Amino acid sequence: MRFVSFHTKLFFTDMPDELLDSWFIGGDCSGWFYARLIPYNQMEPDLEPTMEDWGWIMTVKTNENGLNRLKGVVFS
């Protein structure tokens, strides 16, 4: 397994108290990666961005048989 760490101002990193119940940090980043992977050839949706208690996860299938999957994990 390989990991990539990055820093950007493109996504929310802080949330005002009044929005804590309506938006969860990391969802925008996970959705951004997912939406950009799907258009590539031989990539199929597998697991849409899903919030877990430790962060976000999403997966796409990377071949026709669906034997290989690319997982994306966003820790928030």
pLDDT score recorded for residue 76:
55
**If residue 32 lies in a helix (H) or strand (E), which one and from where to where?**
helix 27-37
Q: How far apart are CA 59 and CA 46, in angstroms?
A: 5
3-class DSSP state for residue 55?
strand
pLDDT score recorded for residue 28:
82
pTM for the structure as a whole: 0.68
- Is residue 12 predicted with pLDDT exceeding 80? no
- Is residue 75 predicted with pLDDT exceeding 70? no
Contact residues for 4 (Cβ-Cβ < 8 A; gap 6+): none
Are the C-beta atoms of 34 and 72 separated by less than 8 Å? yes
How confident is the model over 14-71, as pLDDT tens digits? 777 777 666 677 888 888 888 888 887 778 888 888 888 888 888 888 766 656 766 6
